[in-house]
Structure 1
Amino acid sequence: MAIKTDEDMTRTAWAYAGPGIWGNSRHGVPIPDVESYEVKHKMTGEALPSLDTVYYFDQLIDHDDPSLGTFQQRYWMSYSYYQPGGPILLMNAGEQDASGLIGYLTTTTITGYLAEKLNGTVVLLEHRFFGQSNPYPDLTTESLRVLTIQQAIDDHEYFIKNVQLPMPGGDQLGPDKAPWILFGGSYPGALTSYTMYNKPGLFAAGYASSAVVQATSDFWGYYEPTGEYMPQNCSADVEAAIAYVDEVMGSGNATAIQALKETFGLGELTHDDDFEWALATVIQTWQNLLLSSGRGQTFNKFCLSLASKDGQIAGPDGWGAEHAISAWGAFYLNGPFLPSRCGSIYDSDEGRAACFNTYNSFAYGATNVNNWARSWMWLLCNEFGFWQVGGPATSPALVSRLLTPAYWERQCTYYFPEVFSSPPDTAAAASRTNQKYGGWDVPTERLIFLNGARDPWREVTVAAAASPNNGSDLQPHLFGDGYHCSDMLISEGDLSPAVKAEQQQALQYFAQWLADWKPTA
């Protein structure tokens, strides 16, 4: 199995993302590649439909008003390992086109691995308003009114109660007759927790990897794990560089500010906050690292460029701000990051400005379907926040402290002017989400939370330092040394005993809970 690099993901994303939303890094599970789609039943040897076979479910457009009818929600499945009595493992693909995630039907990933061990079936469900699962033929604000956390939760319930899976006995697998386990990583991990809290007893168990359960608008903690685990000489130089950047940007000296922008090849940017965000985007590539990534990833290349000077590598204190600014600027000017980040528009001065300009973007009016950036921004503006910003003065800064929630909330008015005539109060929206769905302090049983120390989203998961939830035997909190959703890939467990322990413990919990499960029909 191959893992897509952050460069690959950037190129793919640019076709859909506006300049602002890509900087506000979304979460998401690692994307596995599969070499073959041909499958057989492992017990009978019967040839089964290929894994890329698309199935359609008639999902309600609006669960509060069934009279509006249905739309076709896509799903994929494999029952290679199924035996009667085995569980149905339902994975929500979250904020992306689900067709790229069919590797989660195979044993290279946690869902396929557990299906094999538990004699289960895996179903991959596409989230409403992502990919081709759209209630309406566009992403206008009128259409997006039925894109909410609650509608996605209700999709889970309506799906498992009404779907007739295309497999032997597939019409007799409702949650009253067969145990269903809900899976998700990152936002779908939070959706797993939210669903089980909102619909108690519907699912027999749940698996929530890197689950971002605690919504927040002022998410400066996003950069904390990066600062803790990145090379010390790199963090020292990045902090020194950002301190210098903030000093210059706050000086009011237009000449010095313009010279600094030009050092990074970003002299065309009119707005200072766009420049500060442009610097943050390379720090966010930490999220794309995996234990199996090696030194070929953008973040590692960036740190190496800062650490290298005259054929030597910096000690733990780095080389200081002057060299860091020069090396960072050269990395942006001469390295692959900016062309990869911006795509073909990088080749012109106007294009470089458009790549990072959040004040006037062609993306704001793009209401075409399969535009994950717009759908995801709708959820951020209305329910989550999750704005990745500079930290308080008491915390080391890897990104400019001049980046605040207001920078992102302003963009809500550009994306959705019909709804937001002024920037929304996303702090209040996040608070409502936490109150309605439990946030950190969710009491749900038979729900496993799995997290990694290096995950930049760690501080909005139950593993956060501020989380009051320590877990229990019926709500295990499993913690490894991985990155974002590392436990979802079996290969990550092969490289880390701690991640492997998470995967094996999850199997043990599920086997125990399934042994106690009884049908109600």
Structure 2
Amino acid sequence: MRVLILALCVSVAFGLRGVKKLEERALKLALDEKTTFDEMWYSQSLDHFDIAGSPRWNQRYWKNLDHYVPGGPAFIMIGGEGEASPGWLNYGFWSKLAADQGAAMFLLEHRYYGKSAPVEDMSDINMKFLSSRQGLEDLATFITAMSQEHNITRPWVSFGGSYPGSLSAWLRMKYPHLLAAAVSSSGPLHAKMDFYEYLGVVRDATSDCIDVFTAAIQELEVMLQDESNWDMISEKFALCNPLDGYNTMDVKSFMEFLIDNLAGIVQYNGRFPISIDDVCGIMNADVEPIEAFANLNAAILEMNGETCLEHEFSSFLTQLTDTSFDGVGVGWRQWIWQTCTEFGWYQTTNQPEAQVFGTLLDLDFFKDWCKMAFPEYTWEDEKFANEMTNTNTEYGGFIPWVENVVFVHGSVDPWHAMGVLEDLNEAAPSIYIEGTSHCADMYNNEAGDPQGLLDAREKIKEYIITWIN
């Protein structure tokens, strides 16, 4: 599903279109965008692996030296699959730690996202320079340059959440001489095409009402087969345009959005006006399951300030095929390219033990995104499999060899299923926080935070202080 994991953890790991809207809302709630930090530019190589030399381009970054004490360490927040937000330079757990340790702070935007455009456009041929491998090289050269420019002689520490959390661990693994430590928050590390485990976690997190969801989805799938029901479904679920049940992609897109309503709340539980408990309250009301499902859809539309659900796949395809860097689809084309060529992570309804979310979101639905978005490439099953294998070979999958990295996951976050949940060794610990959601450890301490989350932040702090000293 369309989880654009999130720029800095409120961007998007990781397809779900509904989740992306919630992520954007969470980011606005969390960060003060009226920041005083000026955008700056660093000259990067377009292709770090071209030994003959490569054109250069300007990558956007920000810095905060307000806390920096000469001789202190340096912290870098890694940008992800969306526009980077400089508000992070004075917000969150890492900001408090930087103030305590007298650290310089940097935020580097990921190539191809935001204003960090290394090529003229995102035509198919130009997408080949977008990869996690190129992104890690960007980070390594940037860290080296900033150390020289600011005479930083103490250790660096990297931070990232979601996809940037993956990058943070991989950066320490590949460049241990540049980093003393890394924090990998909610970072998926194992590339996998059919990520059915995602909705498996959603199922477990909503055990109090999952039976009602299953009943509603099963009834809806039956109703979708009868044309006489389409107008009623369109009205009940507030579709912007009438449902065309003959259009398979539109039907699947519609069901994806409805499942998003649940998955998005679970992934960011506690960061929106509607929580998992609220969802189950709506679903367990004394009405028919499909009515409850429609009521949940209405509640989330209202929360997002929307009056109707734009379900048609053609709208999404317009974003996927938008090759401009300033178009409406900024973020989608880039991230889908990375999922096609590196990670997969498609959240299907193929749960082997019980398909509680129906059967419509199969793997072919998501593979078709690659074929439609990038028609100049050949997308065979063997190619997909090889890309995932190459990624896991490059980074080690679930068990990378690495030290001085702390892996942090929440039990309610569906992305933990692709993460490190147990200590790899004494110098690569895992912190698993019961009851918390995606990237929860990255935020400030707030009233109502569970003790396990507060303890986790303190433990992360202890690890970082130990490693940088």
**Shorter-chain TM-score category?**
0.7 to 0.9
Q: Which amino acid aligns with 2:334?
A: S
User: Residue 83 of structure 2 corresponds to which residue in structure 1?
Assistant: 97
Per the TM alignment, residue 328 of structure 1 is displaced from its structure 2 partner at its CA by 1.6
Question: Unpaired runs of 5+ in structure 1?
Answer: 1-5, 38-49, 310-318, 347-351, 464-468, 516-521
1:472 to 422, 425, 429: 425
Deviations 1:72-109 (A, max 9, x none): 111111122211222111111211111xx223212x40
Q: Write the distance in 2 (CA, Å) between the matches of 1:186 and 1:507.
A: 19
Q: Which amino acid aligns with 1:491?
A: N
* 1:56 aligns to 2:41 (yes or no): yes
Distance 1:244 1:443, change over 3 A: same
5 Å matches for 1:180-329?
A: 180-230=156-206, 232=208, 234-247=209-222, 253-255=226-228, 263-266=236-239, 267-269=242-244, 270-271=247-248, 272-287=251-266, 289-291=268-270, 293=272, 296-297=273-274, 302-309=279-286, 323-329=288-294
User: Residue 46 of structure 1 corresponds to which residue in structure 2?
Assistant: none
Distance 1:219 1:288, change over 3 A: closer
Q: Write the distance in 2 (CA, Å) between the matches of 1:329 and 1:424.
A: 40
Q: Which amino acid aligns with 1:277?
A: E
Q: Write the distance in 2 (CA, Å) between the matches of 1:112 and 1:35.
A: 15
Q: Which amino acid aligns with 1:22?
A: R
SS in 1 for 2:406: strand
User: Residue 383 of structure 1 corresponds to which residue in structure 2?
Assistant: 342
Aligned-pair Cα RMSD in Å: 3.2
Question: Unpaired runs of 5+ in structure 2?
Answer: none
Q: Write the distance in 1 (CA, Å) between the matches of 2:33 and 2:160.
A: 23
Task: Number of aligned residue pairs: give it.
Answer: 446
The question of whether the paired residues in 2 share the 8 Å contact of 1:238 and 1:324 is answered with yes
Per the TM alignment, residue 362 of structure 1 is displaced from its structure 2 partner at its CA by 2.3
- Larger CA Rg, structure 1 vs 2: 1
Q: Which amino acid aligns with 1:480?
A: I
SS in 2 for 1:459: helix
Q: Write the distance in 1 (CA, Å) between the matches of 2:443 and 2:71.
A: 26
5 Å matches for 1:64-143?
A: 64-65=49-50, 67-98=53-84, 101-106=85-90, 108-143=91-126
Per the TM alignment, residue 495 of structure 1 is displaced from its structure 2 partner at its CA by 1.3
Q: Write the distance in 2 (CA, Å) between the matches of 1:331 and 1:365.
A: 31
Q: Write the distance in 2 (CA, Å) between the matches of 1:503 and 1:110.
A: 7
The question of whether the paired residues in 1 share the 8 Å contact of 2:69 and 2:103 is answered with yes
Q: Write the distance in 1 (CA, Å) between the matches of 2:237 and 2:105.
A: 47
SS in 2 for 1:82: coil
SS in 1 for 2:459: helix
5 Å matches for 1:18-29?
A: 22=17
Per the TM alignment, residue 231 of structure 1 is displaced from its structure 2 partner at its CA by 6.0
User: Residue 491 of structure 1 corresponds to which residue in structure 2?
Assistant: 445
Per the TM alignment, residue 431 of structure 1 is displaced from its structure 2 partner at its CA by 2.5
Quick one: percent identity of the two aligned structures?
24
Q: Which amino acid aligns with 1:58?
A: S
The question of whether the paired residues in 2 share the 8 Å contact of 1:204 and 1:446 is answered with yes
Q: Write the distance in 1 (CA, Å) between the matches of 2:271 and 2:260.
A: 22
5 Å matches for 1:364-443?
A: 364-370=320-326, 371-395=330-354, 397=356, 399-420=357-378, 425-443=383-401
Distance 1:241 1:114, change over 3 A: same
Q: Which amino acid aligns with 1:213?
A: L
Deviations 1:247-287 (A, max 9, x none): 555xx655467765664345523323233223222122225
Per the TM alignment, residue 292 of structure 1 is displaced from its structure 2 partner at its CA by 5.2
SS in 2 for 1:457: helix
User: Residue 411 of structure 2 corresponds to which residue in structure 1?
Assistant: 453
Normalising by structure 2, report the TM-score.
0.85
Q: Write the distance in 1 (CA, Å) between the matches of 2:233 and 2:270.
A: 35
User: Residue 316 of structure 1 corresponds to which residue in structure 2?
Assistant: none
SS in 1 for 2:345: strand
Q: Write the distance in 2 (CA, Å) between the matches of 1:62 and 1:34.
A: 34
Q: Write the distance in 1 (CA, Å) between the matches of 2:379 and 2:190.
A: 27
Q: Write the distance in 2 (CA, Å) between the matches of 1:360 and 1:448.
A: 36
Distance 1:113 1:330, change over 3 A: closer
Q: Which amino acid aligns with 1:379?
A: Q
The question of whether the paired residues in 1 share the 8 Å contact of 2:230 and 2:243 is answered with no
Q: Write the distance in 2 (CA, Å) between the matches of 1:201 and 1:300.
A: 46
Q: Write the distance in 2 (CA, Å) between the matches of 1:261 and 1:430.
A: 38
Q: Which amino acid aligns with 2:217?
A: I
Deviations 1:429-475 (A, max 9, x none): 22221121111101200011111111111101112xxxxx5333200
The question of whether the paired residues in 1 share the 8 Å contact of 2:16 and 2:257 is answered with no
Comparing 83-92 and 60-69, the one that deviates more: 60-69
SS in 2 for 1:200: coil
Comparing 480-489 and 64-73, the one that deviates more: 64-73
User: Residue 501 of structure 1 corresponds to which residue in structure 2?
Assistant: 455
2:131 to 126, 141, 148: 148
The question of whether the paired residues in 1 share the 8 Å contact of 2:161 and 2:184 is answered with yes
Q: Write the distance in 2 (CA, Å) between the matches of 1:392 and 1:292.
A: 27
Q: Write the distance in 2 (CA, Å) between the matches of 1:405 and 1:112.
A: 40
* 1:337 aligns to 2:301 (yes or no): yes
